[in-house]
Amino acid sequence: MSATLAGSPSLAESGADVQSMFNRVARRYDAANRVMSAGIDVVWRKKAIARLLDGLGEAPRVLDLGAGTLDGALEIARRSPGAQVAAADFAREMLRAGRAKLPAEKPGRIDTHAADGHHLPYRDDAFDGAFSAFCVRNLRDLPRGLRELRRVVRPGGRVVILEFLRPERTRFFFDRIWNAHVLPLLGWAVSGDRAAYRYLPESIAHFRSVVEFEALLREVGFAAVECKPLFPSGIATMVVAS
């Protein structure tokens, strides 16, 4: 737990079984995502990955932590044809669903690794950059996971995180109507898993705010941290740390 570091414990830090939940929903995960976000998650990933790769060179080594069904890893490989991507996730079924989307040509540019973000199987400074979309909210020990991200990225490299951070003030439509009622219903309808899609809004409501998350990133050793609210209405935040 993170009692001494910025913020109160998230649902995952309080013991939610995130791993089996993602293994359960893996086969319907992409369909649920597209319906619930009306495709805006694709735009967020593109924007964050453009920022990640900016200035990292022609052949960057990139980690995607919590890579899930590989949408982020595939976008990194598309945008940077010379990149070598390590896609790590502790839910094997998510990676399995993602591997079905890998193009047959150029095998090996995206390697999938069943790995836990709390103890990554990579040496210090192994990567030029790391990307993580909608994963860190699910970490059982958030400070430890963020320290691992910092450890495996070389000095001068960059970490870009996409996440739903807890809003400072409740937004009537997004928090009371959309997140609380519409999202869980849509997720349930598409995936057939009611609990998983109730976890989503609850985990956002219990997660760190922008201010808390930024403070935590600095506490674990990132010198520069920038948080950018994304369209629409800042429901997702892009965090750039180095």
Ligand X SMILES: C[S@@+](CC[C@H](N)C(=O)[O-])C[C@H]1O[C@@H](n2cnc3c(N)ncnc32)[C@H](O)[C@@H]1O
Q: How far apart are CA 112 and CA 85, in angstroms?
A: 8
User: Of residues 156-185, which lie at the interface with ligand X (CB under 6 A)?
Assistant: none
Q: How far is the CB of 219 from ligand X (least distance, A)?
A: 19
Stretch of residues binding ligand X (CB under 6 A), selected from 88-96, 146-154, 202-210, 225-233: 88-96
Helices and strands counted in the chain (H then E): 9, 7
Whether residue 213 contacts residue 6, with contact meaning beta carbons closer than 8 Å, is answered with: yes
Counting every residue written for the chain, the total comes to: 242
CB within 8 Å of 177: residues ≥ 6 apart: none
State both tokens at 92.
Answer: 């094997």
Q: Does 56 bind ligand X (CB under 6 A)?
A: no
In SS3 terms, 15-32 reads as CCCHHHHHHHHHHHHHHH
Q: How far apart are CA 148 and CA 40, in angstroms?
A: 29
Q: How far is the CB of 12 from ligand X (least distance, A)?
A: 7
Total residues in contact with ligand X, by rule CB under 6 A: 19
Q: How far is the CB of 135 from ligand X (least distance, A)?
A: 4
Q: Does 66 bind ligand X (CB under 6 A)?
A: yes
Q: Does 135 bind ligand X (CB under 6 A)?
A: yes
Stretch of residues binding ligand X (CB under 6 A), selected from 50-58, 65-73, 183-191, 211-219: 65-73
> What angle, rounded to 10 degrees, do the helices at 40-53 and 71-79 form?
50
Q: Does 143 bind ligand X (CB under 6 A)?
A: no
Q: Which of residues 58 and 142 has its CB atom nearest to ligand X in the complex?
A: 142
| Sites of contact with ligand X (CB under 6 A) | 18, 22, 66-68, 71-72, 89-91, 94, 116-118, 133-135, 138-139
